[in-house]
A = this chain, B = another copy of it.
């Protein structure tokens, strides 16, 4: 379970599931060796919090396994989920004083964590890593901006359709080595209805109603609470607009 005691002797990176997809991908053997000593692996249970919004930004991390949410809260206590983090995604705020959002595991997860100060220093000394991090951040910014269109301009049906297609796509690529068969048609949601609502800027009731509507229209099936089968991806895509 907890393998952190072996940090200094074993190089976990070499057998890491996301070795070729995370920001460490471009590093050479020697660099990976140094980075491996800085980081430690940590298991997080579903529901457990990794970072707290507003807290001092002490950690950064790579997601190895599982799904986590980034979120912030309104002054009246409602939540807005800012994004989901899947395997190979980077978490945390390098070169920052405070964590701009909270991070909580939605499923049991496995992450590779670094003290932010160690990571910052290593990054500044290794331009290849810094470049990779920059490319990631730029891509993340693009994705976040596209999501603004969803929040600002789409109606509930469009939001749900977009969400289902997106998560089906992301979940299908989660198994790293496995063959990629396109977006999976059968997905196990890592989120509750409330959390879906918090992603899309809706209420739990609206999410529920829209899902049953999509089901009645035979675009999806809902065999269980957390299960969704996409029956008609083209139709969904059309509803997403």
Q: Which residue numbers of A lie inside 8 Å of B, CB to CB?
A: 70, 72, 74-76, 78, 80, 82-83, 93-96, 100-101, 124, 127, 130-131, 133-135, 137-138, 140-142, 144-149, 151-154, 200-201, 241
| A72: chain B residues within 8 A (beta carbon) | 145-146, 149
Q: Which residues of B contact A141 (CB under 8 A)?
A: 137, 140-141, 144
Chain A interface SS verdict (over half): helix
Docked-complex contact B83 and A142, CB < 8 angstroms: no
In the bound complex, do residue A135 and residue B95 qualify as a contact, i.e. CB atoms below 8 Å apart?
A: yes
Closest-by-CB residue of B relative to A152 is B201
Contacts A/B (CB < 8 Å), 16 sampled: A72-B149, A74-B154, A78-B153, A80-B149, A80-B153, A94-B134, A96-B138, A127-B127, A134-B134, A134-B137, A137-B141, A144-B144, A144-B148, A148-B151, A152-B201, A153-B201
Distance, CA A2 to CA B18, complexed state (A): 50
Chain B residues within an 8 Å CB radius of A100 = 142, 145-146
Residue of B nearest to A200 (CB): B152
A131 and B131 contact, CB distance less than 8 A: no
Q: How far is the CB of A2 from chain B (nearest CB, A)?
A: 31
A80 to B151, CA, bound (A): 10
- Which residues from B are CB-within-8-Å of A152? 80, 151, 200-201
> Contacts A151-B151, A151-B152; is A145 near B144 (CB within 8 Å)?
yes
* Cross-interface CB contact of A148 among B82, B137, B153, B154, cutoff 8 Å: B82
Shortest distance between the CB of A63 and any CB in chain B (Å): 17
Q: Which residues of B contact A144 (CB under 8 A)?
A: 141, 144-145, 148
For A78, give the chain B residue with the smallest CB separation: B153
Q: A75-B241, A140-B141, A151-B152 are in contact. List 15 more A-B contacts (CB 8 A).
A: A70-B145, A72-B149, A74-B241, A82-B148, A94-B138, A96-B142, A100-B146, A101-B145, A124-B127, A130-B131, A130-B134, A137-B141, A144-B144, A148-B151, A152-B200
* A148-B80, A151-B151, A152-B80 known; A142 vs B93 contact (CB < 8 Å): yes
